[in-house]
Structure 1
Amino acid sequence: MKRTQHTIVRGMLVAGMAVALAFAGCTKNFEDLNKNPFGVSEEELKWDYQYIGEPFKQIQRSIYVSNPTWVFQIQQNLMGDLFAGYMTPPNPFGNLNNNNNTYNLQDGWNVALWGCAYGSYTSSSENSVMPVCKYLAELTEKESPHFYAWMKVLKVLTMHRIADVYGPIIYTKYGQLNADGSVDYDSQKDAYYAFFADLDQAITILTKYMDDGAAPAFTKFDLSPYAGDYKKWLQLANSLRLRLAIRISKVDPQKAKLEGEAALKHKAGLLEVHTDNLTIDIAPMEHPMSSISEGWQDARMAAPMESILVGLNDPRLTKYFKASVDYPGQFKGIRQGVDMPEKGRYVNFSRLNNDGDLFASKRVQLMTAAEVWFLRAEAAVRNWDGAGTAQANYEKGIEVSFTQHGTSGSFATYRDDAVSKPAPYTDPKNAANNIAAGNPNLSTITVKWDDAASDARKLERIITQKWIAVFPDGQEAWAEFRRTGYPKLFPVMINNSGGKISTTDFVRRVNFVQTEYETNPKGVQQATTLLGGPDNGGTRLWWDKP
């Protein structure tokens, strides 16, 4: 079969990147990736946007890697999903039970997320973002500003997740080698300020296209439900800007307010209804959690999920999880870091509901409208202009989440429940893991809004509901838990960190990766100085203040 020119060019691009990444360190030797090595003419570059557009699919699929599944498992499930209190593996992994689950952070696991940003952690080139963004920047900035703006939004969507795990990252200096061959990191503050600048630039460009009524140019490359619609991508960009503004609201309140109000007041608006949710089409692949939960039997409900969803009589419980095989009719979660001599002990606790809307579709979820309503609610508590009222936003967030999961009929009863609280936790396999009523780690929060409550109590109510609504994106939930301390989670039972991570303070970040120590040691030394503490899981990030 005769291949079209754009197919050949795309194949050359992917193959060329594979070779480049295979011989490069994570963040070095990328100075040539932004050059066009194929000598394609300007006319050919503009032809149907294929040469520009196809790499955008790689970016979208690399934010939240689904293929290969093992990359997703160590990128997301054995980090964010675990540390957020969403899921716990019933697998001791080699019968050692000495890994992320027990705070002995595994370099071999934790490198995957870094690799998804920068590449070279695997022979596959289809799971990295920054090399492609760098390549596309020069290609699109002048000739195709709408694609340039789209790239900026996707880059920030990816890289804030990297910064929220490691802290300092290589962002503004990416691809810029020093004379000694090292690459400089940005502090997390500088990275966040760069995120805001990139979003502002993208929003300005896309707003002009929206105002001009321009026809969508990247519809065929858009793996989201937005189909290249400029207004929809503007709403996502504004929502992302608000997310990041709220993230820094404790450490940098003036900058947070400035950026948050810009998002709240923009004429394109924010994500509002569940059909606005940002999801990425990964077809023909199945959702990776289906394999991890059902096929590999490596993910089960975490104990905090049982406590909160069961205690609050939350109808989303059955949408997220299935009842336990060992205890029919009951939903049973595993507490993190429990004694687990073999896989059989907890494997028949509640698995994911692979038949539900979250896991049965060939889509992964990156941001929901429900989350944005909770962001608005917190912005209202902080008295930001344009936020509306905290109660209306909070209740709307619950309603939109219920609509997303097909439980709207229960919304009013749930919203008005001022009695139900998270339930004590009982481990039928080992009573030493129980969390009894009155334990300070057991929340007493209810669902019904109380406008007379303290701001701290309002925040706990908002974040608890946001934690439920953003499931299964544990990385975002973990970031919000670290920022706020909510929802209340249960401390790890076995702490194998050697004193690096406090049992009562939980995991605050993940170590810089070993490939950086090997290929960019001066950069890592600089990054550790910027971090302001030892390179381990107990050091707090810039925005993570007690």
Structure 2
Amino acid sequence: MNLKNIGKIFALSVAGFMLHSCLDFDVTGAEFNSTTKNEKKVVRQGKVDSINYKVNITEDQYNKLYAKVETNLKTALGGVYAIRGGKNGAPPVSHAYQYLSTFYQDAFAQYGVIPHVNYPYSGINIVSSTAIDQKAYGGAYGQLQMATKAMVPLLNMEEVDSLPEVKATYLLFFDYACLESVDNYGPMPYQDIKTNKQEHPFTYDDVETIYNSIEANIDTIVKCYEYYEANRPAWYKTLMQQQLAANTKCNTYAQGSYPDLGVLKRFANSLKLRMAMHIVKVNPDKAKKWAEEAVASGVIEQEDQEIGFITAVTGNGNPMIELWNSWSDMRLGAGYEQVLRAFNHPFLEMLFEKNSRIANVKDDSKSLEAGTKVCGILAGAHVGQEQGSSSNPYNGFSQLNQKAMGNAPLYLMKLSEVCFLRAEGAVRGWNMGGSAQQFYEQGIREANVLDRTQQHRKLRKMYENAVDDYLKIESATPFTYVDPTGNDADRVSEITVGVKWNESDDREVKLEKIITQKYIAGFPNSLEAWTDLRRTGYPRLFNILNMADGDGSLVQGGMVHRLPFPGSSDAATLKEINETGLKALGGADKQATRLWWDVNKPNF
């Protein structure tokens, strides 16, 4: 697909996609050349939202259709990978993952903080967690472009209308990618992108419209999978399950063949359940309806139904190891440390290494000697300039544990998240198929971030052996964060709730417990953690420092509510933002502007 079809329309400057060493990114538009040289170029604008899942074809017709879409289908796999930082049609890699998540979302969720300001080969300078660098803040949208450029041509091919399960599956992944972008930035030209519009002008759809469109798609996708299971002949199922597994590679079963398409149906319903909880404050009746429909239809309930990129399937390890440990481009965030210390959580020692030497800039006698403890950087701190240098004390904060995180999956939908969503729904009085306590405790038991099939045995046992006692914790351990560099004042944790479920607790306390444990389990999916923080205010993290480094809209003690529209340096895109984007947003193009679902009102 020509770059102008999608990428050019919303492109960040080429410099925004080019880095050296720790940020060595190729020129935008080259991402899929290796897989698309024989690809059928698609300019057709199909009816992507319509899936004729009852269409009947013979085995000979199937083979002929598949031959026509095969190259586009293989290219679409690269689009699936791009959702979590894939590049060149390959599984997630460090460069792309960095643009997707590390520059901003990780700090907003306080999972991690960049320990230096300067990226010497790219010209990027991020002075603190809220500071907008024009070359960096649109990175998540750049990954969306890669995903959509790879999947949209397939979705608009005439032939794919006769392979409804293929269409349903890639529409599901397309919608997943768009939803994440919307939760980052807000309105986008969702319908124009989906239907393969080729030229300007592009119209921005508002967040509510996009959510409703995706939910309607999910309902159709689920019907497609249900019809498939009930009506397709055995030969058809064998071929379809093998080919979808080979070209999605996001589940344990994708090593060979899906046993059926139930795992994809559960993924779709789980996404609907997540969306329901996002909108609970702006439209509680619709949220309840979506959530109960999703659960009744079937959500993820077992580990082998989880959706994510697993080393055993993709052949690639977790890109975070290179990013954190080799490049020194990320360190543990003090917010995540704070929450883990509140409950003496096993992740503190499992997932992170103890510090290297951290010099105290005011009193060297107070410097933190190497190997003292696991420690994180305060979000928003004014860190040092140098990358990887011992002269920058922030490089000494905690890195990742290679054994634990080297093969940790990058999840799109994890069982523990679904459990916590059902627990929250039950607290709200919805029919979630069980009790809040049942799902809450199951979510904690299923929280382990390690690879389910290739876990380091000692680390796996460390978590499993700790859970029973962990579930009995009555209250949080008091914690005062002391900045080892001496640059910032002490911070006292405001977390007081325990882990143990008490049915007599009021709904607000129950919600805080659920979201706090969900936050722990969700690492490193910082976008979803940031979304929960925006919609509920939990967990009770330290305030981000130096909010004035943002775009002027932020206040100390507040939070970042969105990233500005990307691509505004392009005149045509800027015009579209001004003509339809701002109206769809309903406010200024600022970090403090709330998205449609981000309502400033009580949780109950």
In the other structure, the counterpart of 1:335 is: 378
When residues 24 and 193 of structure 1 are mapped into structure 2, their CA distance, relative to the original with a 3 A threshold, is closer
Please, which of 262, 267, 288 is the counterpart of residue 319 of structure 2?
288
What one-letter code is carried by the residue in structure 2 that aligns with 1:338?
Answer: A
Please, which of 66, 74, 92 is the counterpart of residue 117 of structure 2?
92
In the other structure, the counterpart of 1:224 is: 250
Please give the secondary structure, in 2, of the residue aligned with 1:336: coil
In the other structure, the counterpart of 1:494 is: 546
Please give the secondary structure, in 2, of the residue aligned with 1:235: helix
In the other structure, the counterpart of 1:346 is: 394
Deviation, 1:166, is 0.7
What one-letter code is carried by the residue in structure 1 that aligns with 2:299?
Answer: L
Please give the secondary structure, in 2, of the residue aligned with 1:279: strand
In the other structure, the counterpart of 2:485 is: 429
What one-letter code is carried by the residue in structure 1 that aligns with 2:83?
Answer: I
Structure 2 counterparts to residues 189-338 of structure 1, below 5 A: 189-212=208-231, 214-215=237-238, 216=241, 217-225=243-251, 226-227=253-254, 228=258, 229-266=260-297, 269-281=298-310, 283-326=314-357, 327-338=370-381
Please, which of 159, 171, 196 is the counterpart of residue 190 of structure 2?
171
What one-letter code is carried by the residue in structure 2 that aligns with 1:436?
Answer: V
In the other structure, the counterpart of 1:416 is: 472
What one-letter code is carried by the residue in structure 1 that aligns with 2:427?
Answer: V
In the other structure, the counterpart of 1:377 is: 423
When residues 431 and 505 of structure 1 are mapped into structure 2, their CA distance, relative to the original with a 3 A threshold, is same
1:372-421 CA distances to partner (integer Å, 9 max, x unpaired)?
00000001011112342111110110011149572111111000111333
When residues 376 and 100 of structure 1 are mapped into structure 2, their CA distance, relative to the original with a 3 A threshold, is farther
Q: How large is the Cα RMSD of the aligned pairs?
A: 2.9
What one-letter code is carried by the residue in structure 2 that aligns with 1:464?
Answer: T
Deviation, 1:58, is 1.3
Deviation, 1:432, is 2.9
On the 8 A contact 1:307/1:422 being kept in 2, the answer is no
For normalisation by structure 1, the TM-score amounts to 0.86
In the other structure, the counterpart of 1:455 is: 507
When residues 100 and 160 of structure 1 are mapped into structure 2, their CA distance, relative to the original with a 3 A threshold, is farther
Identical amino acids, percent of aligned pairs: 26
**Mean Cα deviation higher: 371-380 or 70-79:** 70-79
**Mean Cα deviation higher: 196-205 or 108-117:** 108-117
In the other structure, the counterpart of 2:583 is: 529
Separation of aligned partners in 1, 2:418 and 2:499: 18
Separation of aligned partners in 2, 1:232 and 1:247: 23
Please, which of 94, 107, 110 is the counterpart of residue 137 of structure 2?
110
**Mean Cα deviation higher: 251-260 or 97-106:** 97-106
Structure 2 counterparts to residues 19-38 of structure 1, below 5 A: 25-26=10-11, 33-35=42-44
In the other structure, the counterpart of 2:518 is: 466
Separation of aligned partners in 1, 2:276 and 2:300: 16
Separation of aligned partners in 1, 2:417 and 2:86: 22
Alignment coverage as a number of residue pairs: 508
In the other structure, the counterpart of 1:444 is: 496
On the 8 A contact 1:66/1:288 being kept in 2, the answer is no
Please give the secondary structure, in 2, of the residue aligned with 1:109: coil
1:32-64 CA distances to partner (integer Å, 9 max, x unpaired)?
84449xxxx996432396335312311211111
On the 8 A contact 1:464/1:486 being kept in 2, the answer is yes
On the 8 A contact 2:44/2:156 being kept in 1, the answer is no
In the other structure, the counterpart of 2:594 is: 540
In the other structure, the counterpart of 2:96 is: 71
Please give the secondary structure, in 2, of the residue aligned with 1:365: strand
What one-letter code is carried by the residue in structure 2 that aligns with 1:303?
Answer: A
What one-letter code is carried by the residue in structure 1 that aligns with 2:483?
Answer: D
Separation of aligned partners in 2, 1:178 and 1:62: 21
Separation of aligned partners in 2, 1:151 and 1:433: 49
Please give the secondary structure, in 2, of the residue aligned with 1:243: helix
When residues 25 and 443 of structure 1 are mapped into structure 2, their CA distance, relative to the original with a 3 A threshold, is closer
Deviation, 1:147, is 0.4
When residues 54 and 489 of structure 1 are mapped into structure 2, their CA distance, relative to the original with a 3 A threshold, is same
On the 8 A contact 2:127/2:382 being kept in 1, the answer is no
Please give the secondary structure, in 2, of the residue aligned with 1:355: helix
Deviation, 1:436, is 2.6
On the 8 A contact 1:52/1:139 being kept in 2, the answer is no
What one-letter code is carried by the residue in structure 2 that aligns with 1:181?
Answer: H
On the 8 A contact 1:89/1:299 being kept in 2, the answer is yes
Separation of aligned partners in 1, 2:288 and 2:63: 44
On the 8 A contact 1:447/1:461 being kept in 2, the answer is yes
Please give the secondary structure, in 1, of the residue aligned with 2:492: coil
In the other structure, the counterpart of 1:478 is: 530
What one-letter code is carried by the residue in structure 2 that aligns with 1:332?
Answer: C
Separation of aligned partners in 1, 2:288 and 2:594: 22
Please, which of 26, 32, 56 is the counterpart of residue 76 of structure 2?
56
Separation of aligned partners in 2, 1:205 and 1:483: 32
On the 8 A contact 2:342/2:477 being kept in 1, the answer is yes
On the 8 A contact 2:5/2:198 being kept in 1, the answer is no
